[in-house]
Amino acid sequence: LKDKLIKVQQTRLQGRAARQKAAIPTISLVGYTNAGKSTLFNILAKSDVYAADQLFATLDPTLRRLDWDGIGTVVLADTVGFVRNLQHDLVESFKATLEETLEATLLLHVIDSSSPNMPEQIEAVESVLKEIGADAPILHVYNKIDLSGDAAKIIYKTADVPDRVYVSAHSAQGLELLSQAVQQCLMGQLQQFDLVLKPAYGKLRTQLYTLNVIQTEQYDDQGDLHLSVCIAPHKLEQLIKQAHLPLDEILGKKASLFQRPLEEFEIDHPSQ
């Protein structure tokens, strides 16, 4: 098992580096075993990941690239289910699969809201996250509301930062709220940027318009378009890099905020 985990770790490094350079946000699903993580992953990614009522049914983290409403391209990562009282050497070994969690932009902590042991299971997951040093923002996803009787809803930590969302992966209740909550989490850290787009960069302007982030726009005498946008830095970086456009020409002095080279986004495929 440990040898397999080492191989898993090695095959992930190249793909993770490519995603970081391309500024692609990663959403990592974590949770106690049997909380419904892989079922939720299947729905969100429209894939067919092995979902089983079994310890460590998901060993190799499964990755999918998809377009998230209001965000654009993201990578969704499914990880191994957590358990209580996991032996220390196994915690060390499973760090291989949990490294997607360490590098995530956002964690979705999937919780079985129908379990009588829910508090202990939440504590077990939080304990492992702390031990491996995961410090990404967390959105708590209370799953299986078709069994618990909870209503589909979002509970906010602050006025615009979601803390919990109640869903059922089985019945699809609340999935639109989950999409909304993820969008709010990822777009929560907004900044204002002044951009200069040459006439040939019209596609980038269209993408910014589609995201509804343009505040003002005006053409100068040379035909260049001056835009003021309010957008998450990682999203702006992603759009510019995927279009292979010059950061310094578009952003001016603020280009220094984004030091990584322009590279095309590529993602490794699970278990080849």
The strand pairing partners of 15, in sequence order, are none
Q: Does residue 115 sit in the same domain as residue 13?
A: yes
Residues 58 and 170 in one domain: yes
CB atoms under 10 Å from CB of 244, counted, come to 9
pTM: 0.64
Helix (H, G, I), strand (E, B) or coil at 226: strand
Gap between the Cα atoms of 37 and 108, Å rounded: 9
Each residue of 91-133: pLDDT tens digit?
Answer: 565 665 566 677 788 999 999 999 999 999 999 999 888 887 8
Instruction: Give the model's confidence band at 267: pLDDT under 50 very low, under 70 low, under 90 confident, else very high.
Output: very low
In this structure, are 163 and 206 located in the same domain?
no
Q: Final residue of a domain: which of 186, 205, 222?
A: 186
pLDDT at 47: 54
Helix or strand run (H / E) with residue 178: helix 175-186
Find the helix packing angle between 88-102 and 2-21, rounded to 10°.
Answer: 20
- Please say whether the beta carbons of 114 and 147 come within 8 A: yes
Judge whether 97 and 5 are in contact, CB under 8 Å: yes
d(CA 28, CA 12): 14
Strand partners, 63: 77
Residues 178 and 66 in one domain: yes
Q: Flag whether 271 is in a domain.
A: no
Task: Kindly state whether residues 49 and 170 are assigned to the same domain.
Answer: yes
Tens of pLDDT along 192-240? Answer: 899 999 999 999 999 898 877 788 999 999 999 999 987 878 778 888 9
Portion of the chain with pLDDT greater than 70, in percent: 71
Distance between start and end Cα atoms, the chain? 18
With CA atoms as reference, report the closest residue to 174 among 204, 205, 139, 209: 139
User: Do residue 177 and residue 209 come from a single domain?
Assistant: no
Say if residue 131 is in the same domain as residue 63. yes
